[in-house]
Structure 1
Amino acid sequence: MKSIVQPTKKQRRKIVLEILQQQNRIEDYPYLIESLSPPQDITTLAPVGSGKNISIGIIGGGIAGLSAAFELRKLGFDITIFEAEKKRIGGRIYTHYFDRHKKYYGELGAMRIPISHEIVWHYIDLLGLKTTPFIQSTPADLFYILHRHACNDSEGQSVMENIYPAFDLTLREQKTPWIQLQNNAINPLLRKLSPKVRKEIIEIKPQYHPEIIKLDQLSFRNIFEKAGLSLGAISMLGNLSPLIGDFFYTSSIELYSEIYTLDFFSLYRIQGGSANLPLAFYRSFFDSNVKKYYPNIPPHLLGTIHLKNGHCVEQIQQKIPCGPVTLSSKNIENHSIHQQNFDYIICTIPFSTLRNIQLCPAFSSEKMQAIQELSYENSFKSAQFYKERFWEKEDIICGRKLGGSSATDYPLTSLWYPSDHYQYLNSPYAPPKEPGVLLSTYNFTLDATRLGNLPYNQRIFKINRQVEQLHALPKGYIDNILLDYVDINWNNYPWSLGGFAYYRPGQKNTFSWIAAQPEYQNKIFFAGEHVSGKHAWIQGALKTGIQAANHIAKDFIVKK
């Protein structure tokens, strides 16, 4: 399927339909469109301008908070966003630029947009952003496992010849390509669910179908065990597919969520970096040409937005039931404390950081339990800026790499090649010789902690050596071409204390509904990927931001 640079809504839906047809899942199409499209527009819930003189505090300037502010502004609310970062917005959308022209950059946070994630595309179109294809995999991807190299050929032959002999596999497993082994284990449990039940995989409900509860109880590893795979096959598949192997002990509902919504088919990236999405929201707040963003709303009826960068909320207090909520925030620079009263609050920060905020009074016991127990997974990313793209040389092992990724059993786990030369895929012409940025590490859970917590110099040394061995390069080769390096260990980032929410077995059924419910008599609403049905994706954060704004609109209209 040929990639379209800037797909229209009609083209996106056609692509989704084609992928579902290829998977014999056409019956899921209406459910996907309904679930992944933007919620009801806030102006259909309350009149424009009706929120004048009503104050709203938003805790967190990530993408959930920004989308909530964008929507609330339509009704005229007075909005204040508290963001702990002094010089940045966007939360875990974090693009690092290596040059002042912002041509060379590495994505330390969210980096790709599936064709099916229609809420993200809604804002991309509305805010005038440009996209290009994100190349998920190519035949030039390589594997380096137990000191053995293999290429990512479509039949899996290279892996069978070079990697299989290192593992204790049954005779049947030895004769089956690895992708088929993986799919044979994963797909039957999804296919046996009816379309109506399947959609609950990404829904937030007070009660789930018994089959969803059963699925939630299983870990990724349990899925492979139930399929009868040997220990050797499970170990091998975990190394070949780090996005599975790193999460062996996570609820399988997370795996099926990404399969159900086609998260790794027909992917895109935002031109110039993912940070352009939160920046586009920011510009819309202060652009004098408001008609560009709100064409049907008179400017004088729009709300105002105040952005308090460098202010960390330390206390949330409600002195009387049904009364206003007071936020106490600390200026990160001079440590001064400020208090401000609001009619409503939207809390978008992860539960991992909310855990450290003083709550007076405490939330409901069920919510407090969710805040304490909801699981967050670590992620470690490193980006390296090179004066030459060694991965694009014609003689590199497995061939020139113009996107895609490679995997290893070393702690770096996986690395990702830039997609900015994707137009040279299957081209007789060589890409231009220029500097480039390699996402030299992208790992999760244990390896993210083990590699990410090494001392800085030791960390770089280890990564350089592992990149060399993965690509069969001589020792020291990387040191001679490396211009700059940056990394982030999301567990150690103070404003997230984790990479993203990811359920442990049973947590969807236990916590998903209660985590999303309001507190303080409908005065505090919650948003963010952690209270969504799409953990770790921009789609989930945006959807909950819109939903929180809509809940406030419904509540204040009733009380008005």
Structure 2
Amino acid sequence: MDTKTILHLCKIANSQESKRITILGAGIAGLVAAYELERLGHTVEIIEGSSRIGGRIWTHRFGDDPKAPYAELGAMRIPSEHKHVLHYIHEMGLDKKLRKFVTVFEEQNALMNIQGNIFRMKDGPRISQQHYQGIFLDTRYSEKTRLFGAWLKTIVNTISPGNLRESLDRDLNSHLMDELERLDLEPFFSEDGESIDFHGFIKANPGFRARCSKALDMFFSDILVETSHDLLQLEGGMDQLIHSLAAAIKAPIKCNHKVVGLHVQEDGVEVSWLKDKQLHTRHCDYVLCTIPFSILRKMDLRGFDKDKLTSIDNTIYCPATKVAFHCAQPFWEKHGIKGGASFSGEGIRQTYYPSVNTNSSLGSALLASYTIGDDADHLGMMSEQERYGYVKKVVSQIHPEIEAPGMVMDMASIAWGNYEWSDGGCSIPWGDDVSSESNHHIHYLEAARPQNTLLFAGEHCSRFPAWIQGAIESALEVVYEIVTHKPLRESTTTLPIMSAKKTKTPTVRETSKTSR
């Protein structure tokens, strides 16, 4: 259902009596919900645990100048079919800033580092085949099969976490090469036989995915999106959407309010949070919780049913780590690289080049490393200085210019797996315990299921985990649930904390935390 239709239904169903809603989290889901609820005549307040708004949309600017280079430490691309996101970009008057996002495998002059061998992306299939060796040199298979298999391995190696790379290796050796051998691969090679139309292949051969391990099959959906030629970005930074929404909301956004407990009751929800060493407790009619389940499961949760607690405990989050360098000049352009990404080698995976805002006397921002899964954990365990040194050393193997004195002027990084307010980069549907795609469908519905008047939104409650689209869609669905619900009442109390040693904060529930 498109955004306007959902909002029209909300308007029709909206009750005449104004309701009061407390929103936990000032990320995109919380801000969209607040914006729409206010427009429908309801009163909201927004509580944010951290000192900043935006959640996992985080644009880092290297300087205060409006033209200063920037890097996206969080969400950085918008699939063109994600209409909810584009609706709010239009609503906030930002559509003129939409630009094409040049993604991985799209810039043919980008580089690849496979086992210390450096070559351009356009030479990928044949050179990959030579360096991987093993089954890719097995003469039982045709040259086309071996080339295609090697390129498939390269795509997965560049984008996926370690467990899925291993899954593909097992599948290729056990049966996928045989599957490729029986298929007509010719239509999916370019005229020179050096590049492959992976999107066209998957569309024409859906049965191939069914022959993969289930987790890998599900991850192919992400690969297809990430390698699409129809991705967009906001020139000037993705956080423009966040700040525009915040400016359009009348309610104040209260940062540094750390929620520590939720008690679901028959007539509302009791919310407890810490602010300036004081424990505050408020009884609310309606609460919209957009806090990631990786954080929520550490809180004191009461009045939840067993299935809901299981969903909160078992939602899997994938770590993600990004490292950005402020470079004195865009040295990569001398190599004909004008966007896209290189595969920079083991440990740091993808290096993204800016495709907008590159001609600046203030330098240029290079997203030197973007990793997920085990690679992200490895970088996340390092100190920031160790992380910067490691990434710079690996990137220098494909771009020795980065070692020139004064080339790297500043650095920034985020290890989302260790970040206090998310404890993960995003929720994922393709963990090791996922046995079918329908399981994810059931899981996100359970994640979104309310507990009386405690409602839930965020990418983990949607059909689009890891994407802004999912966070917005889930927020709109909650807006509809709230406006059609019978009004309740609200009361407030505040309890001071005299001493951290003498006064106990709400007990943290003991859970078996799932992490990746």
- Shared fold (TM-score, shorter chain, > 0.5): yes
Shift of 1:49: 7.7
State the match for 1:307 in structure 2.
Answer: 253
- Give SS of 1:547's match: helix
State the match for 1:459 in structure 2.
Answer: 387
Distance 1:470 1:162, change over 3 A: same
State the match for 2:244 in structure 1.
Answer: 280
In 2: Cα distance, 1:173 partner to 1:385 partner: 46
Distance 1:391 1:366, change over 3 A: same
In 1: Cα distance, 2:391 partner to 2:295 partner: 29
- Give SS of 1:264's match: coil
State the match for 2:317 in structure 1.
Answer: 376
Structure 1 stretches lacking a partner, 5+ long:
1-33, 187-217, 231-239, 241-247, 287-304, 394-398, 423-430
Residues 258 and 264, structure 1, Cα contact 8 Å, conserved in 2: no
Superposed, 1:101-140 pairs within 5 Å as 101-103=65-67, 104-129=69-94, 130-136=97-103, 137-140=106-109
Shift of 1:219: 6.6
Distance 1:48 1:175, change over 3 A: closer
User: Deviations 1:252-283 (Å, cap 9, x if unpaired)?
Assistant: 46425446778723111112100111111001
User: Deviations 1:427-475 (Å, cap 9, x if unpaired)?
Assistant: xxxx67761000001001111111221122222111111111022x16x
Superposed, 1:182-201 pairs within 5 Å as none
State the match for 2:350 in structure 1.
Answer: 414
The amino acid of 2:268's aligned partner reads P
The amino acid of 2:287's aligned partner reads I
State the match for 2:41 in structure 1.
Answer: 76
Shift of 1:54: 1.7
In 2: Cα distance, 1:89 partner to 1:38 partner: 23
1:512 matched to 2:444? The reply is: yes
- Give SS of 1:541's match: helix
Structure 2 stretches lacking a partner, 5+ long:
156-165, 179-195, 197-211, 490-516
Superposed, 1:31-70 pairs within 5 Å as 34=1, 37-38=2-3, 40-46=5-11, 50=15, 52-70=17-35
Superposed, 1:109-258 pairs within 5 Å as 109-129=74-94, 130-136=97-103, 137-153=106-122, 157-161=123-127, 164-168=130-134, 169=136, 170-171=138-139, 172=141, 175-176=144-145, 178=147, 224=172, 227-229=175-177, 251-252=215-216, 254-258=218-222
Residues 457 and 478, structure 2, Cα contact 8 Å, conserved in 1: yes
1:483 to 402, 409, 419: 409
Shift of 1:365: 1.1
1:438 matched to 2:371? The reply is: no
The amino acid of 2:380's aligned partner reads G
The amino acid of 2:326's aligned partner reads F
- Give SS of 1:388's match: coil
- Give SS of 2:406's match: helix
User: Deviations 1:315-342 (Å, cap 9, x if unpaired)?
Assistant: 11134x2x121111111xx222222222
In 1: Cα distance, 2:168 partner to 2:444 partner: 19
- Give SS of 1:318's match: strand
Residues 382 and 486, structure 1, Cα contact 8 Å, conserved in 2: yes
- Give SS of 1:514's match: helix
1:344 matched to 2:286? The reply is: yes
In 2: Cα distance, 1:546 partner to 1:486 partner: 33
Shift of 1:164: 2.3
2:277 to 317, 328, 335: 335
Q: Tell me the C-alpha RMSD between the 2 structures.
A: 3.2
Shift of 1:133: 1.4
State the match for 2:206 in structure 1.
Answer: none
State the match for 1:200 in structure 2.
Answer: none
1:542 matched to 2:472? The reply is: yes
The amino acid of 1:455's aligned partner reads S
In 2: Cα distance, 1:263 partner to 1:468 partner: 25
Distance 1:262 1:383, change over 3 A: closer
In 1: Cα distance, 2:465 partner to 2:171 partner: 20
State the match for 1:302 in structure 2.
Answer: none
Distance 1:52 1:384, change over 3 A: farther
State the match for 1:529 in structure 2.
Answer: 459
The amino acid of 2:344's aligned partner reads T
Shift of 1:224: 4.8
State the match for 1:401 in structure 2.
Answer: 337
Percent identity of paired positions between Structure 1 and Structure 2: 29
Residues 532 and 544, structure 1, Cα contact 8 Å, conserved in 2: yes
- Give SS of 2:347's match: coil
The amino acid of 1:78's aligned partner reads T
Total equivalences in the alignment: 434
In 2: Cα distance, 1:117 partner to 1:549 partner: 19
- Give SS of 1:71's match: helix
Distance 1:178 1:273, change over 3 A: farther
State the match for 1:494 in structure 2.
Answer: 420
In 2: Cα distance, 1:327 partner to 1:165 partner: 57
- Give SS of 1:135's match: coil
In 1: Cα distance, 2:168 partner to 2:450 partner: 31
Residues 312 and 330, structure 1, Cα contact 8 Å, conserved in 2: yes
Distance 1:518 1:257, change over 3 A: farther
Residues 10 and 479, structure 2, Cα contact 8 Å, conserved in 1: no
In 1: Cα distance, 2:86 partner to 2:236 partner: 16
Shift of 1:44: 3.1
User: Deviations 1:139-180 (Å, cap 9, x if unpaired)?
Assistant: 111100101112111xxx454136523421223375447567
In 1: Cα distance, 2:441 partner to 2:43 partner: 36
- Give SS of 1:164's match: helix
The amino acid of 1:143's aligned partner reads M
User: Deviations 1:389-441 (Å, cap 9, x if unpaired)?
Assistant: 11112xxxxx321100001332111110001168xxxxxxxx67761000001
1:90 to 26, 49, 54: 54
Distance 1:173 1:432, change over 3 A: farther
Of the structure 1 ranges 218-227 and 477-486, higher mean CA displacement relative to structure 2 is found in: 218-227
- Give SS of 1:265's match: coil
- Give SS of 1:469's match: coil
State the match for 2:512 in structure 1.
Answer: none
Shift of 1:223: 6.1
User: Deviations 1:33-87 (Å, cap 9, x if unpaired)?
Assistant: x5xx32733453456984644211111111011111111112211111111122x
State the match for 1:366 in structure 2.
Answer: 307
**TM-score, with normalisation over the residues of structure 2?**
0.77
Residues 350 and 370, structure 2, Cα contact 8 Å, conserved in 1: yes
In 2: Cα distance, 1:410 partner to 1:260 partner: 22
1:269 matched to 2:233? The reply is: yes
